[in-house]
Structure formats: structure tokens, C-alpha cells
Amino acid sequence: MKVLRPFAVRLVILIAGSAALVVPLRAQRAAVQAEHGIVTSAHVLASEAGLEMLKRGGNAVDAAVATGLALATVYPIAGNLGGGGFMLIHLTGGRDVVIDYRETAPAAATRDMYLGPDGNVLTGPGSSTVGWRASGVPGSVAGFALALEKYGSGKITWAEVCEPARRLAADGHLITQGGAAQLRASENHLGKFAESKRIFLKGGAHWAAGDLWKQPDLAATFARLQKGGPREFYTGETARRIASAMAQNHGTITLEDLKAYKPAERVPLRGTYRGHVIVTMPPPSSGGLAVLQMLAMLEPFDLGAMGHTSAAKYHLFAEVMRRAFRDRAEYLGDPDFSSVPVTQLLDRAYLKRRMTDFSPDKATPSSAVEAGLGPAKLSQDSTLNSQFFAAESTETTHFSVVDAAGNAVANTYTLNGNFGSGVTVPGTGVLLNNEMDDFTAKLGVKNMFGLLQGPANAIQPGKRPLSAMTPTMVFKDGKLRLVTGSPGGPTIINTVLQILINVIDHQMPVAQAVEAPRVHHQWMQDTLTYEHYGLSADTAAVLTAKGHTLKERASYEGGYQGDAETIFIDPATNLRHGAADPRKPDSRAVGY
């Protein structure tokens, strides 16, 4: 078995057809080509942890779990034991399944827990974004364990998938330039908490590129997980340390909350687009439903003829995005707690009606876009362009895996914000999430990502907050063609949409499809954002004339949107083409 070198794309079999095209384009990063298995993630060491499992005879699920656990060590801005997410699994027998290991609200959570005496949403420590009260009950360990137990190869044990992460924590890893920059950029956040400052900021001295970073507390946590099994996190010494620290710091998670946590298996959503089958995430993620809605609204239009970066296409994108996000705000929530009208929202006749007021010449004001299935339920005092609008987080992370047999995993998981709540549980090395901010803290007030959300997403004990995470797979003629997903808060949804459009409509090789510039509209705030270098002056002028408000992405993010770690399977050769998104400097695809 051999590793094939990264290649400059010369020839690609397109998803949309069976003929080969000579493609003269070059990507900033060439896709990595592999005959057997391939893993792509935000950090090369995590990708290599997954590849280690594949080379030892494990399947895509084994590799995905090892990758996810390793990211907790080498990519702590989003990789985690103290967060949660979603895993989409495709098995070669034809079965597709979702492991929902989203965090849940603790038993002590209440609808108005983040409102102050004046009725306004709290900020700073004690809020839904910072400190000990911001965390939902973590699901990552339980979710990975369920996936391994039910869908792993049976050749790789739980202790073995933990080992690369433990080894990287115990022996240390060399901090990259990108990793050092992430840690320093979060100094104010992490510096609020002594344990986080000690571990992640080197006590205030800061880690530098090239430093060997050892994390002995995290290594000990992984060792306990290896010895005691995954339930150790929820019932053992690690659980007791989490519960004790919570009690000492007026947090809300108890030992009983940890013991009660269970991941859920769900049936993925399925839709079609130009002869392809799209398999994606169901609620409590809003992402899959929104992507399928937008694809259905776009299908009547010849996007290829419009051109990849045309004003006509970007105008159309903004219009379908604002309609899908309006429905998201109104109807989406945890299906275990509220009725989500999935069938109605995906009905083709409904989505055709949704576009009856579309004009190719004029932008629809977001304030004029109503929820499509009925009158809006957002409160009357909603300040739709309020001061609560904020740039979305990039601190989720996505990784994709395909093994030699064709099994595949698309996994997106998160701490929510940069390094989550900023809190590290003493003696564990475990950062905790600030996922409670994904609930509706107050009707009419936006969360940290600038999203307005409805009463279906109100805080309740045991409930999972609404998410935008959208791990997705594409099939053609019964065969897997594409595995993708992205971080980026609400931009996740539109990043995944554009990856699919780039491959299917614009027939791009996967590396170009991933690197191509991205735009984003989320209904409120009524702004079309674009990446640095991503919009020409004449295109911007046409869009402005149509009534769009344009905004370049924030410079602190490098001006970029998302991190779409993607794998394309060539239908003619069955070779796996792994495209690591260059928006993340440490991302890599590795294969054999």
C-alpha cells in the first residue's frame, strides 16, 4: 500500500457527469489523492491520528473517533471533550445514520436564566457566553463512544482510539504559528480563569510557535478514559471533578446531569438536487433543512450559465438565504421538545411559493420576509437590527473520513465560542463549552452570532439547543461522491451550500470548490457579507444598485468564512481526493 503525493489537478471526473474534463485550474493547495483511506481535518496531527486507525484495519468510524479525540489536544479552540456535535455516518451496505451528541441544558436551567433584574440579557461571567453558567452538559465523549460501539469495525478498542490523543497530551506537540496565534488572540477570554490561563496562556507568558506543549492533566483524563471506559467521563473521577468545580463556582451542571446524558441516533434528512441525493443533518440542527430548502429554491435557475462570481448569482443566493434563515428563526428547535414542521418546510410546492416575490432586479428587504408557514411569532419588541448583532464564531470544527471499503463519516463538533466558556475544569485539562448561548435567551434579542431565534428554541432542562452544524454527503447513481461540512456559526449552512453548488453546478475540482470565495446572508442583520478578495468592485456595484447592503468579513478572522474539510470520490477511478481548506493554516488531508 502506498501514499500518493498531493497532485495538481489535471483531470477530474465530475459529479454531474461521466465524461472526463481537462481542467487547467490550479488550487492554492492541491487535493491529496489516496487509493484507500483518507482523513482531512483542521490539524495535521489529528488527521494522522485517524489515518493510524485506518492503517491498523479500522474503518471510517474508528478513524473519526480518534481524529475527534486528538483534536481535543492539538486544536483546543474547537476540538473538545467538553462540547458536543453531530456525526453523519455512511455504511457501505447503504445505511446512513446520525449520532446526535449535542449538549443538553442542565436540570437547573430555566427559560430566563440569562436575564438580569432589568430584563436585559446578561453579559460577561455568569452569562450564556462566559464562565461556569454558560455550559450545556457535554456530549462528545458519549457520542464518540456510541459511534465506535455500534458502527466501528470491532478491530479497534476504545482505549486504542484514545491513545493518540493521550500520547500527544503526555509527550507534547510542537505549537504551530497558527496555534500560537489562536491562543494569544483569546488572552482576554482565557485569562479570566486561573486554570485556563495556566494551561493555555502559559501563565501569561504565552506559548510561541515551536514550543513543545505538554498537557499532563488532559493526558491523565485520557488515561482514566482508557482504563474506565467512556462512562468514566460521566460517572467516574472526571465527572466528580466537573461537578465539584461547578458547585464551587455557582455553575449549573451536576453529577446527576452528567449521569443522565445520552446521545441520540437520528434519521438523516434526504433530498435531491439535479439528479444527486443529498444526505444531511436533521433537527436539532437547522443546517440540513436550510440547505435542502435553498437547493430546492435554486434548482429552477441555471446557475452554471450565471457564472460562478456573477452579481446575478450572488443576488439570487442572498434571496434564498434570507428566506431559509427566516424560516429557521421561526420554526426550528429540538424535535424532542417541539414540533418541527420538516415535511411542510421541505415541500417543493411550498418552496416554489417562497420565491414568488423574488425579483432578479431588486433585493427583498429582510424586514418584509415573513415566516412562510404562518405569521411571525417573534415578540413585538424585537429590535431586528439591534446592538446585539455580532460576528459569528469560527470555533466549531469539521472533519471528513472515507475508508478503503467506502464507509464515510462527516463530523462537526464544537465548544461554540473561542475556547468555549473559557473555563477549564481543574485537574482535568478539559475546556467546557458555552453552548447555552445557542438557546433563545430572550425573544427579539440576537445571540453571539447575530441570530434571532424563536420560542421553539427556548431554554428547557434536558433540551438540545438549535445548531447550524451541517455535516453532509452527496450521492450520485447510488455511489458516494462528496463528504463535507464546515465550522462558522450560521455561515456553516451557506458554506456547505456553496461547496455543493461549486461541485455540481460549476463542475469545479474539489480543491477549487473548497477554496472558492464565499458569501453569507442570514436574514437579520440585513447584510450580505463576503470574503476578503472575494467580490470585485463592479460586482459589488451591481449588488448595491439592486438594494443589497454589503460588508467584508471581519479582519480578525483573516476575512475568511468557514473551513470546509472535504473529500471527493472519483466515480471512474474510486480514488479519494481530500481537500484541506487553506483558510485554516494547520489543516491537512492525509491518506494511503
Distance from C-alpha of 514 to C-alpha of 533, rounded to nearest angstrom: 15
Q: Specify the 3-state DSSP secondary structure of 344.
A: helix
CB proximity list for 284: less than 8 A, separation 6 or greater: 100, 102, 332, 333, 334, 335, 464, 465, 466, 467
Half-sphere exposure of 388 (CA within 13 A, CB side): 23
**Among candidates 67, 37, 38, 36, which has minimal Cα distance to 50?**
67
Helices 158-171 and 140-151 cross at an angle (nearest 10°) of: 140
Q: Which cell is 448 given? A: 453571539
One-character DSSP codes across 386-432: -TT--PPP--EEEEEEE-TTS-EEEEEEE-SSTTTTS-EETTTTEE-
Q: Which cell is 457 given? A: 428554541
Q: How many residues does the chain have?
A: 592
Largest CA distance in the chain: 66
Q: Which cell is 558 given? A: 483573516
Q: Which residue in 104, 280, 394, 396 is the catalytic one? A: 396
Q: Which cell is 351 given? A: 418552496
Alpha-carbon separation of residue 541 from 362, 537, 548, 550, 554 (angstroms): 13, 6, 10, 10, 20
Catalytic residue at 343? no
One-character DSSP codes across 71-120: HHHH-TTT--SS-EEEEEEE-TTS-EEEEEE--B--TT--TTTTB-TTSS
* Residue numbers annotated as active site: 396
